[in-house]
Amino acid sequence: MTALIGPTHVLCSIGNGTDQVWAAARAGIGRITSSHVMNQHLEPIQMGLVPEAALGTLAEEIDSLPLSSRARRILRLAAPSFQMVAQDLAQPVSLFIGLPALTPAEAPWLTRVPAYLHTLTGIPIDRATSATFPSGRAAALIALERALSALETNPTAPVVVGGVDSYLDLRALGTLDIERRLLGTHVMDGLIPGEGAAFFVLSSAGGPGGNTERIVVNAAASIMDPGHRYADAPARGEGLAVALEAIRARAGQLPAPIGTTFAGFNGESFESKLWGVARMRHGDLFSPGMVLDHPADKFGDTGAATGAILMALAAKALASGTRPGPALVWAASDREPRACAVVSAASGT
């Protein structure tokens, strides 16, 4: 089914709010700085970090829990962004949220994120209809796919989709450093770690959410790619192309060829191969003058927040007329998940 997207909110190193982030990205404004964390060559790791003043605070009952520093940072990123989009909804809300690709043994707190956000914001969350997706960079688009299915079952439900992540974690940074994946003087094919959160309301036509800009999610799809970065299988770069096949089947006839792509590039060549294969195999899906946006070069790799940030920016770009539609949004995780979605302006807008 199709659904309306909005309101939205994005928090990352270049802005607090979708309007501010999109304006900064369009203007080419980046905020990548030297962090206090050193790499194995004793050089500061370049990161895209959210200013401390923009982060939320932890309630005493959560602050007293034995949570990791990464969990605390993620909750402080998520709470203000989630509150901005959910505070005016009928409650309780169904929350579908993308999170870092960590195992339950590594991060038992992941399944508790909806409960923690309820405590931090006071916004009731329907635990029975909410779900967490610890799948990495593609997680928020997988959450979107599930949210569309939930909305089809209950069109009047208040639904929020989001994603949140932070690489400001010694274990995460240490692993990337050992694997030579951090961009720097000794690594040219690497990423700049960042952090961020983004949430948006998803509603059926005439449903809750206060959407006045009428931006439609035409379809979303996800697949599991055996040829991922850490796999033994050959990395043929086919995963995104397969996900686009699913999009074409679900969306039916799009209102026009894709006019803009919001790409989940993170600075590494692996994602470029995914995009290259998909673009070649689905050449007829794109307009000749398609615009390619990859805003991670302004704020770094935002991990599990990537898909939600790109969805919010795509909706803003189409609503403001600053990019031609429809828009394709895609993101790929380090391991199997690849996901994408198509958004467009509703007819008559």
Residue 297, domain CATH? 3.40.47.10
The pLDDT of residue 212 is: 46
Mean pLDDT of the chain: 93
Same structural domain for residues 14 and 131?
A: yes
The pLDDT of residue 315 is: 97
* SS3 of residue 52 by DSSP: helix
Q: What is the mean pLDDT of residues 140-162?
A: 94
Q: Which two tokens stand for residue 338?
A: 């690849």
The span from the CA of 39 to the CA of 30, in Å, is: 22
The span from the CA of 169 to the CA of 180, in Å, is: 16
Same structural domain for residues 155 and 22?
A: yes
Residue 5 has pLDDT above 50, yes or no: yes
Q: Which amino acid is at 280?
A: M
Q: Which residue among 159, 180, 203 closes a domain?
A: 203
For residue 230, the cross-strand partners are none
In the chain, % of residues over pLDDT 90 = 84
Q: Structural domain of residue 94, as residue ranges?
A: 3-203
Q: Is residue 208 part of a domain?
A: no
For residue 96, the cross-strand partners are 131, 161
Q: What is the mean pLDDT of residues 160-186?
A: 96
Same structural domain for residues 186 and 224?
A: no
The pLDDT of residue 209 is: 45
Number of folded domains in the chain?
Answer: 2
Compute how many other C-beta atoms are within 10 angstroms of the C-beta atom of residue 268.
17
Same structural domain for residues 23 and 165?
A: yes
Angle between helices 69-86 and 170-178 (to 10 degrees): 110
Residue 211 has pLDDT above 50, yes or no: no
Q: Is residue 210 part of a domain?
A: no
Q: What is the mean pLDDT of residues 187-196?
A: 96
Q: Which residue among 159, 181, 203 closes a domain?
A: 203
Same structural domain for residues 180 and 274?
A: no
Q: Is residue 259 part of a domain?
A: yes
Same structural domain for residues 112 and 259?
A: no
The pLDDT of residue 205 is: 64
Which tens digits make up the pLDDT trace of 274-290? 999 999 999 999 999 99
Q: Which two tokens stand for residue 296?
A: 């991670």
Same structural domain for residues 188 and 220?
A: no
Same structural domain for residues 282 and 198?
A: no
